[in-house]
């Protein structure tokens, strides 16, 4: 069975088009080019790169010329108010004059989609973890369906979560852990149409996600094979109880419970109680919780 860290981490090292790409080795660049719709809606081959300040100014001027002086509309969805203000102000200084942010007091999906309906953004800067509103992977697809380019900002390095963002259609993943000036450069480059993900990187990460899901489905088969008693023991382990406590509560010998635990591990295809508990939690087992 592939481990979460091994499969995800190996693939995420391919996300190296920019030093602030989430999950990337920030000191390197990905090889190859990528095909994405740019800020002006064109679909062209681009080699990942980082623009100079002068190049950004030229690109902004060129875009305004193509669109009759119209500025890119950028919508910021971020639960940390100070960071959202800093990002909005910094983007304005970088030449993006049409930037709005969603009220951080209500970042639930319906409110965010209503704000997007009113503003009709070209670019959406989406914080992946929105506090009380939860994980924002479900926001990406409806935003992308409105022809907005969604760029995800996150402090997470969870390979499954980042891969799910790509699966939902995000055009870029940016780490909040890098220096703000570098993060701003990367966002600006992506907003101007320079991709930070090669097709090979995207495909590799999505393939890792598929393998992980296949592993999880195979693991679920093991839960079906558990006897009633083995299920009771595993439920107790998930609740944080140790073998000795389970034996005392159920009035059986410690050796009996240990034998039952060994049978559980064998059926689930794992090597430790911790791994069995982790698998149960990922599979949301037992489902009546």
Q: Which of 190, 93, 168, 83 is nearest to 127 (CA)?
A: 83
Q: Which of 48, 75, 70 is nearest to 60 (CA)?
A: 70
What whole-number distance in Å separates Cα of residue 39 and Cα of residue 24? 23
Q: What is the DSSP letter of 131?
A: G
Range of the domain at 69: 4-207
Residue 218: inside a domain: no
Phi, psi of 174 (to 5 degrees): -125, 135
36/177 same-domain check: yes
Residue 219: inside a domain: no
Residue 131: inside a domain: yes
Q: pLDDT tens digit string along 22-34?
A: 554 433 332 222 3
What whole-number distance in Å separates Cα of residue 143 and Cα of residue 123? 9
What does the pLDDT read at residue 12? 42
What does the pLDDT read at residue 27? 31
231/264 same-domain check: yes
Q: What CATH number is attached to the domain comprising 258?
A: 1.10.10.10
Please report which confidence band the pLDDT of residue 97 belongs to, taking 50, 70 and 90 as the band edges: confident
172/132 same-domain check: yes
What does the pLDDT read at residue 164? 86
Residue 143: inside a domain: yes
Contact between 3 and 211 under an 8 Å Cβ cutoff? The reply is no
Indicate whether 71 pLDDT > 90.
no
Residue 119: inside a domain: yes
Residue 200: inside a domain: yes
User: Mean pLDDT, the chain, as a whole number?
Assistant: 76
242/147 same-domain check: no
What does the pLDDT read at residue 197? 65
Indicate whether 264 pLDDT > 70.
yes
265/185 same-domain check: no
Q: In terms of C-beta density within 10 A (0-12 exposed, 13-18 middle, 19 or more buried), how is residue 79 classed? A: middle
Tell me the average pLDDT across 72-100. 91
Lowest mean pLDDT among 88-102, 168-182, 248-262, 274-288: 274-288
139/240 same-domain check: no
188/232 same-domain check: no
Q: Final residue of a domain: which of 207, 234, 264? A: 207
Residue 214: inside a domain: no
What whole-number distance in Å separates Cα of residue 34 and Cα of residue 45? 6
| C-alpha distance from residue 262 to each of 48, 83, 242, 265, 276 (Å) | 50, 50, 14, 5, 11
Q: pLDDT tens digit string along 155-172?
A: 887 777 888 888 888 888
Indicate whether 80 pLDDT > 80.
yes
Residue 215: inside a domain: no
Q: Final residue of a domain: which of 180, 207, 234? A: 207
What percentage of the chain has pLDDT greater than the value 90?
35
Contact between 261 and 229 under an 8 Å Cβ cutoff? The reply is no
Contact between 209 and 10 under an 8 Å Cβ cutoff? The reply is no
263/130 same-domain check: no
Q: pLDDT tens digit string along 190-248?
A: 777 765 666 666 777 777 777 777 776 666 778 988 999 999 999 999 999 999 999 99
152/201 same-domain check: yes
| C-alpha distance from residue 178 to each of 27, 139, 141, 153, 185 (Å) | 11, 24, 26, 11, 11
73/145 same-domain check: yes
Q: Final residue of a domain: which of 207, 233, 259? A: 207
The helix (H) or strand (E) run that includes residue 82 is helix 81-93
Strands (E) located in the chain: 34-37, 43-46, 73-77, 98-101, 123-127, 149-154, 172-175
What does the pLDDT read at residue 57? 53
Number of domains in the chain: 2
158/244 same-domain check: no
Q: What CATH number is attached to the domain comprising 12?
A: 3.40.50.2300
Contact between 75 and 134 under an 8 Å Cβ cutoff? The reply is no
pTM recorded for the entire structure:
0.58
190/232 same-domain check: no
């Amino acid at each position: 069975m592939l481990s979460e860290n091994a499969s995800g981490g190996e693939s995420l090292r391919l996300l190296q088009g920019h030093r602030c790409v989430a999950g990337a080795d920030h000191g390197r660049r990905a090889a190859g080019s990528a095909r994405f719709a740019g800020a002006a809606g064109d679909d062209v081959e681009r080699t990942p790169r980082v623009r100079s300040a002068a190049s950004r100014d030229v690109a902004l001027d060129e875009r305004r010329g193509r669109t009759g002086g119209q500025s890119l509309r950028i919508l910021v969805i971020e639960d940390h108010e100070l960071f959202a203000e800093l990002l909005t102000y910094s983007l304005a200084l970088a030449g993006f004059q049409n930037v709005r942010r969603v009220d951080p007091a209500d970042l639930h999906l319906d409110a965010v989609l209503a704000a997007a309906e009113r503003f009709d953004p070209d670019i959406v800067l989406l914080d992946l973890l929105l506090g009380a509103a939860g994980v924002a992977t479900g926001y990406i697809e409806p935003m992308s369906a409105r022809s907005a380019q969604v760029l995800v900002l996150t402090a997470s390095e969870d390979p499954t979560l980042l891969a799910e963002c790509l699966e939902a259609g995000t055009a870029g993943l940016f780490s909040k852990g890098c220096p703000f000036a570098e993060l701003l450069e990367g966002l600006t480059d992506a907003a101007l149409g320079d991709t930070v993900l090669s097709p090979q990187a995207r495909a590799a990460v999505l393939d890792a996600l598929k393998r992980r899901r296949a592993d999880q489905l195979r693991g679920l088969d093991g839960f079906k094979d558990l006897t009633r008693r083995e299920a009771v023991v595993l439920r107790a382990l998930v609740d944080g109880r140790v073998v000795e406590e389970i034996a005392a509560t159920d009035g059986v010998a410690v050796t009996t419970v240990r034998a039952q635990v060994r049978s559980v591990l064998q059926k689930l295809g794992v090597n430790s109680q911790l791994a069995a508990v982790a698998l149960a939690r990922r599979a949301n087992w037992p489902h009546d919780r």
